[in-house]
Structure 1
Amino acid sequence: MDELNIMIDEINSHIKKYHCKSKSEQESDVHIVISEFTAGSLRVALKRPKKVIGFPDSFSIGPLWRLNEKIGQSFRSQWLYENINDELDDYEYEQKFINTLLEIENISEHVPIYLWYGNNAEEQTGLRFILYLLKDKKNEIYLINSTLVYEKVTAYKIEEQPIFHTGQIEPEFLRLIFDETTKNIPLTVEERIRFHKEWKSLSKSKDVLRLFIEGEIREVPENYFDSIILETIDNLHKKQGSKEFLKTGDVIVEIITKMDEMVNLYFLEYRIRYLIYSGALELQGIPKSIRHYRVKLPDKKLKKD
């Protein structure tokens, strides 16, 4: 299987290089976002011609250790494979990651690059990683803080559902956001160097959970959400009136809707499985994906008012 992947890497590399050479004169602005879903929204929002690259990863979870090197990419891939139930094929993540690195590497140096991000750990971390990947390119690079500009271009009210991530924004508003930022100035050399240093600091760590708190990316313990998960299940049991098994997806949705930050649902599911294995939760079904099992607190864990 390793030999097959090496062969696929070689084929992909040649395809990308040929595509870059044959289409370089036709390329226009390049927009880079975190997540393929967000890239789809941006493709709908922006006028042609444009190129949109969606990085297929969630940088709020998993180790970042030496991620700009193959050894770090393998280390991260192994951790995700062993812990995260995202239902991807074994090598799908690795191939998408490699292909996206090649896309970024093959960006022509005469086009402007726009990096979209929001006020969340996933996009803030990804921003620094991508800027490090671009460190040797001479392109003008523009930053677009989508969540910040969204509040300016809409009649956003603080009591409404908060927007943390570019992926939460409808295409029509993404277009307005881009129009609002057309007069932005590109990053200076000093700013780019600062981001590179911040990435180097992040990439020294093997921690697996990051949050965006008070304007900073902060590493927090792996068990950060465990008490929140147990408390949420306890509250749902009380609403039931009797303690019955709960759909895992319902538990995760309940947690996400109550949080004042962007939380990775697959990481929450990973921690629910950990709590099952450690005896803090009981299981009904087979935990091969979020939709395949239910959970509840053991009798001794149910709190009484």
Structure 2
Amino acid sequence: MRTRQTEWEEQQTYVHLLFSMSDAGTMKVSLSKIGKRAESRVYALNDLFSQGPLWNLEEEAGRRQRMEWMLDHSVEPVCSHSYRSNHEGQIESMIDLLQSVPESKHIIIWHSDNAHEQVGLRFALHVLRERKTPVHTINVSQYEASYEPFLPKVYAFGQLKSEDVQGLLESAGDEFLLQEGERRRLEAEWKELAEGGGTLRLWEDGRIVTVPEDSLDERLIRIIEHLEAEKEQEQQEQEQQEQEQQEQDLEELDVKSLLDKMQEEDDMAQGENRVRRGLFFIGMSSGHGQNKAFVRAGRVVQETEKWGQLIGYSYIEYRLWTLISDGVLEFSGLPGAMYRYSVRVKK
């Protein structure tokens, strides 16, 4: 017996694959705005392929190894049994869904110039290696570079504006068809990545580069040093302004009248010294007790977006705590959330 769900699935002629739930949501909204939601199904391979082992993800052992690594290299409280089950099942279910897409439907894989989405593209093509029907792939970084060459290049699908996605959907055609030779090359690259054993990947000079887990540490330290210098400069300027204001107030203050009132207790020289010391200590209490060099951990992590990589905040924060444990950094505040603690390079 035919159901409404069956009829709806038969109407869907396109399958769009993206690499985060957020990007999938953007795609659904864009499809709806141009009247193509009913004919399209949207899948999200919701992982972060720029980090973690890639070995044997089509088997339970490989997925479990990957999950254990992700949990060991994260500071977020995600160690519950339900999280483990949902995450492993998500990869497994996406493999089943992709392999079950009928040959009559068109698959479009959306990606951009970052290691996460580029690795995801290769994994998806590996899963679809037995599929006979050609696959379409759209690199939004290359599209944006040619469509708006004077704007900064996007390095992730999530940076696209909704109208850009709508424009791509309306113009997508055979120019996005992945040629057979290129398809096999990308499948082979997945095999190399999966068997290579690396756990951190960057996108450099148009290719995926596997790097050591600590390769970002020096960049993090430079960010912290730069933010420390900025903060110290701001505080010096603020202290200079406060000092200038105090000097102006001192000039305007009728010191003589104050000293006359204090004459019975002390002589003029002692009274003037007392007034000046009082003003000095008032100025000292306005900010000198603060930890000047510490900078918010959240600000440090936010600055890594300028690298043009898609690595994940959790891993960056994990590296911060590794540097703290190694004695390279020190922190002030309460661990648990990036807005609750600050870091600085240990002197």
TM-score, normalised via structure 2 length: 0.73
RMSD: 2.4
SS at match of 1:94: helix
Q: How far 1:126 sits from its partner (Å)?
A: 0.5
**Contact persistence 1:24–1:108 (CA under 8 A):** no
> Bigger shift: 51-60 or 236-245?
236-245
Indicate whether 1:276 and 2:266 are aligned: no
**Contact persistence 1:273–1:287 (CA under 8 A):** no
**Contact persistence 1:256–1:263 (CA under 8 A):** no
Partner of 1:249: 298
Indicate whether 1:264 and 2:312 are aligned: yes
Per-residue CA deviations over 1:203-245 (Å, capped at 9, x if unaligned) read 0022111111111111111111101111111111112216343
Q: How far 1:294 sits from its partner (Å)?
A: 2.2
Indicate whether 1:76 and 2:124 are aligned: no
AA at the equivalent of 1:247:
R
Partner of 1:33: 18
Partner of 1:9: none
Q: How many residue pairs get matched?
A: 278
Same amino acid, percent of matched pairs: 29
| Stretches of structure 2 lacking an aligned partner (at least 5 in a row) | 233-290
Question: Take 2:182 and 2:231, find their aligned partners in 1: how far apart are those partners?
Answer: 53
**Contact persistence 2:51–2:311 (CA under 8 A):** no
- Per the alignment, do residues 291 and 208 of structure 1 end up closer, same or farther by CA in structure 2, a change over 3 Å counting? farther
Per-residue CA deviations over 1:47-84 (Å, capped at 9, x if unaligned) read 22211111111111111122233221111110001112
| Stretches of structure 1 lacking an aligned partner (at least 5 in a row) | 1-17, 301-305
**Contact persistence 1:117–1:146 (CA under 8 A):** yes
AA at the equivalent of 2:300:
V
SS at match of 1:223: coil
Partner of 2:105: 111
Partner of 1:4: none
Q: How far 1:263 sits from its partner (Å)?
A: 4.0
Structure 1's consecutive aligned runs of 4 or more residues displaced over 6 angstroms after TM superposition are 18-22
Partner of 1:294: 342
Which has more radius of gyration? Answer: 2
Q: Following superposition of structure 1 onto structure 2, how do residues 186-205 of structure 1 map, counting pairs within 5 Å?
A: 186-205=177-196
Q: Following superposition of structure 1 onto structure 2, how do residues 184-223 of structure 1 map, counting pairs within 5 Å?
A: 184=175, 186-223=177-214
- Per the alignment, do residues 179 and 27 of structure 1 end up closer, same or farther by CA in structure 2, a change over 3 Å counting? closer
Q: Following superposition of structure 1 onto structure 2, how do residues 75-224 of structure 1 map, counting pairs within 5 Å?
A: 75-88=65-78, 89=80, 90-91=83-84, 92-153=86-147, 155-158=148-151, 160=152, 162-184=153-175, 186-224=177-215
Question: Take 1:35 and 1:148, find their aligned partners in 2: how far apart are those partners?
Answer: 20
